[in-house]
Chains A and B, each alone.
Chain A
Amino acid sequence: MAWDDQLVSRITDRLAGDAELRREVARELRAHLEDSAREFRQAGLGEQEAADQAAKALGDPRELSEELWRANRGRMRFRAVVRWAASLALLPAAIAVIVGLALSFHGLNVTSAVFSEDGLPKGVGRNLTEEQLYVLRGDPKATTAELRAKSIADRWPDNPVYFGNYFAFAQLGFHEDGKPRPDRLDDLLALADQGERVDPDNAFYNVLKAALMCEVSSTVEDDTSLTHEVMDRTGKVTTRPFRKITVTDPAMFNRGLEEFRRGLAKPLFTDRTLEMMDLRLAMLGTPRQLADIVATTAMEVSVLLPSLGELRGLAKAVTAYAIDQAARGDQSAVELACSVELMADRMGASSKALIELLVAQATRQTALAGLEQVGKKLGDDALAEDAFARRREQEEFTRDLLRKRRAIDSWQLPHAGMLWSVLMPSLPGYAVNFEPLRTMESLTVLHVALLELLATLVVLAGIFGLAALWGMLRRADRPILLFVGWRRIGRIVLLSIVLPLALYGPYAAWQVFEPRAYGLNYSLDRVLVELAMLLCAVTALLLGMSYRAIRQRCLEIGVEAPPPITPRKRRLTLSAAGLVALACAIFIIYWWAGPSPSIGPFALFGVELPVQYTPGLVLAGVVLAMGALWVLRELIALLRSRLPEFRRTFFRSAMPILCSAIIVVGLAVGALLSLGETSAGRRATGLGAMSFSAEIDRSDYRLLRERFAAWGQEAQDRAASQPAE
């Protein structure tokens, strides 16, 4: 009624600074006046008289206006500040949360970590001292890997590990097209002399000098006229040729042999490069994210073991020389061949990486085959038979080792996860706990999904903000930024985001932690479908509940609002969602009840992603497309609605709700994911971590290494007993 409106407008005039509050108070007073006037009418008064009496009963309008302003001014001030903050700060804060999450997500840095020049992840160095960083990276100004390694050795000249690391890089330039470069020999020998001074108890530098000198002073080639039989891991016997040697520089060759003998008398035998790697890995600390593990793996892969080839070459040369000497009737050939066996025993017993052990194994076979031949040439049958027996014992030991335990059982692969399924070494008895890395992989995918969800919401918030701004620019009256109330916002965040995530979280955790849990190499398609459904459900619920809350609030303050979703529309939406959900359910049930991993269509390595994950990707795409279409349809319907005030109010008020949800969920879920990843990373430092220096410890090859130690002891005992005989 017109009189009503005028009176109410006068009373609420002082609340004009808060349009929403003014409208609400006006609506309350109007309802009061209507109730009051109706009662007067029921008492027999006429329309106008009743209205006048109702207005009179309300009191003096000016006094009431003043009183209302006094009662609400604190609230108005507070709401003005909150509105200002919501308009200006919420969207940037939401974007900052997303950017923070993206930056803290090292998954994005994996590639740069793997392919960076120093092989270290970008995040490395946060808590490291300058000295530790120097040990990890070397002099930043150095232009090559060798110079970086040199800078570390130069800074700590007495450290044998740093020098060993530098020496490994220095060796790289010694060969050109597979042949030694005599012009670099002196430099390398000088460097090895320096190494001997830094690391005096280590046989490595002497043996390596011997290898270098023998290599440049002789040529070694296959001697097809002289062969021996070798038994492989399956028990199959094959014939291999011995080598024949041509010494081109006897003086240097003999100097080499001198160095070889001198070196073997020393107690240590190590090139130090794996010690350097372990030292660096210890500096990197607990991996916090999957990317840290990938980066450290990349660092391990980049470790060089160039001396192995040199030592193998030395073994061949000295053995061939011993056979040659034996053919000439020289008894010292026995001692030479035994020296090679001793070197192999010491290499094997001190090996850290599997490749070292395997080279030692091959070297010992060469040495024993050579010793057998030396015995035959010297007419010492006992020596030849003993050497043959010991070689056969080694071959049988290795064959048994590989026969007793299969390398990797096929049923293990679906549980291994992306990284392990590709990188897992195929070793007998390899003990590994897949869970930490599997968890980290799953959390990485969840991290990406969270980022996608938040990015979707922030794009929607941005669209709403722009739509509101467009409305503001085109019309003089500003749309109201509604206070839907903390409770409503809390309920929206709780029911539309926290509840779905709280339901999915334990399920996802169970999927990873249960003893027979599958890795992403096997389950990525199912996980993608689940995440697509979750993303759509959260977005739909968030928009639907925000729409409902804003609509309700509009009605409360007297803004005309469209009717709620009509049954016909709801039926349509529900039918479409139901169909997609049914398709997803069938897919997931098939996934669980379908063929078993070892024979099923998905039991492939993670690298075959396009074929393996097609059904999952297609369904995830369909679910997301349906969700996007639904949102688009609702937005178009809203834009075309004939209620401009509601439309503009919705756009202006939905933006802060979405931003609040992004901030709350981004911080809370992001922190939870980070904690989960760090915790899994801590577990991964146990059996789950990949370390080449632990391959022997974790597999049955440790028995072979122990055997090498025993063989070494036996060889020493034999050598000690010979003079007495």
Chain B
Amino acid sequence: MDFSQDLVRGSVTPIVLALLQDKSMYGYEMVKAVNARTNGLLEWREGTLYPALHRLEAAGLIAGRWREAAGKDAARQRKYYAITRSGRRELAHRAQEWRLFNQAVNACLWGA
């Protein structure tokens, strides 16, 4: 399904932060992880991810570090991003915001 671009763009930040809360990941790995978790429902245009990552990195919510990949790609270096302490606080805030927003939209649409 093709979601509105505004909706996709607005959701990148909480999704990236949520992805990184368990382990550090590199860009392509994140794209794959989102596709897998949403069963292809949320198919990112891959390029949109990097500006978002750089913005979050500049804001200090995530930190990038070059290192060698694990497993079969061991020889190759990739830039891994990890969530920072302020990134975790931001994630909690965004999750709460999303929950309330979701409730409000649901209430309007379905009267629940």
Contacts and interface: CB of A to CB of B under 8 A. Distances in A.
A60 B54 CA distance: 18
B88 interface: no
A64 B78 contact: no
Interface in B12-67: 26-28, 45-48, 50-52, 54-55, 58, 66
Interface string A8-45: 00010000000000001101110110011000000000
A71 B27 contact: no
A631 B101 CA distance: 63
A66 B23 CA distance: 30
A50 to B, nearest CB: 14
B77 A555 contact: yes
A375 to B, nearest CB: 99
Contact of B76 (A25, A31, A68): A31
B54 to A, nearest CB: 4
Q: Is the interface of A mostly helix, strand, loop or mixed?
A: helix
A152 B45 CA distance: 90
Given A59-B47, A60-B47, A71 B54 contact: yes
A222 to B, nearest CB: 95
B55 A71 contact: yes
Contacts of B51: 64, 67-68, 70-71
A178 interface: no
B79 interface: yes
Contacts of B27: 28, 31-32
Interface string A196-228: 000000000000000000000000000000000
A63 interface: yes
Contacts, number: 63
A29 B50 contact: yes
A31 B78 contact: yes
A642 interface: no
Given A72-B54, A72-B58, A555-B77, A67 B48 contact: yes
Q: Is the interface of B mostly helix, strand, loop or mixed?
A: helix
A180 B51 CA distance: 98
B28 A36 contact: yes
Nearest to A78: B58
Contact of A74 (B45, B48, B58): B58
A28 to B, nearest CB: 5
A502 to B, nearest CB: 27
Contact of A68 (B46, B54, B78, B79): B54
B31 to A, nearest CB: 8
Contact of B47 (A63, A75, A556): A63
A556 B54 contact: no
Nearest to B78: A31
Given A28-B79, A31-B76, A72-B58, A64 B28 contact: no
Chain A, interface size: which category? 20 to 34
Contacts of B52: 71
A351 B79 CA distance: 82
Given A68-B51, A68-B54, A556 B66 contact: yes
Interface string B76-103: 1111000000000000000000000000
A408 B50 CA distance: 79
A261 B26 CA distance: 105
B104 to A, nearest CB: 29
A24 to B, nearest CB: 8
B46 A36 contact: yes
A58 interface: yes
Contact of A556 (B26, B45, B50, B77): B77
Interface string A428-461: 0000000000000000000000000000000000
B28 A59 contact: no
Contacts of B58: 71-72, 74-75
B6 to A, nearest CB: 14
Contacts of B45: 57-59
- Residue picked from B27, B47, B52, most chain A C-beta under 10 Å: B47
Contacts of A68: 50-51, 54
A63 B50 CA distance: 12
B28 A58 contact: no
Given A31-B26, A36-B28, A555-B77, A64 B47 contact: yes
A503 B95 CA distance: 48
Contacts of B26: 31
A248 B108 CA distance: 132
B108 to A, nearest CB: 31
Contacts of A556: 66, 77, 79
A637 B78 CA distance: 30
Nearest to B53: A71
A1 to B, nearest CB: 15
A59 B48 contact: yes
A75 B59 CA distance: 10
B77 A67 contact: no
A116 to B, nearest CB: 57
Contacts of A32: 27-28, 46, 50
Nearest to B29: A35
Contacts of A59: 45-48
A75 B54 CA distance: 9
B63 to A, nearest CB: 9
A33 to B, nearest CB: 9
Interface string A68-86: 1011101100000000000
Contacts of B48: 59, 64, 67
Nearest to B54: A71
A58 B47 contact: yes
A58 B52 CA distance: 14
Contacts of A27: 79
Contact of B50 (A35, A57, A60, A64): A64
Given A71-B58, A74-B58, A556-B66, A28 B46 contact: no
A67 B47 CA distance: 9
B64 to A, nearest CB: 8
A252 B47 CA distance: 115
Contacts of B50: 25, 28-29, 32, 64, 67-68, 71
B43 to A, nearest CB: 9
A57 B32 CA distance: 12
Contacts of B28: 31-32, 35-36
Given A70-B51, A71-B51, A58 B77 contact: no
A230 to B, nearest CB: 88
A361 B28 CA distance: 98
A471 B45 CA distance: 42
A469 B27 CA distance: 37
A60 B51 CA distance: 13
Contacts of A72: 54, 58
A29 B47 CA distance: 9
6 contacts: A24-B79, A25-B54, A28-B50, A31-B78, A32-B46, A71-B51
10 shortest interchain CB distances as A-B pairs = A59-B47, A67-B51, A71-B51, A64-B47, A556-B66, A71-B54, A35-B28, A59-B45, A71-B55, A58-B47
Given A32-B50, A59-B47, A64-B51, 16 more contacts: A11-B47, A27-B79, A28-B50, A36-B28, A58-B47, A59-B45, A59-B46, A59-B48, A63-B47, A64-B50, A67-B51, A71-B54, A75-B54, A75-B58, A555-B77, A556-B66
Interface of A: 11, 24-25, 27-29, 31-32, 35-36, 57-60, 63-64, 67-68, 70-72, 74-75, 555-556
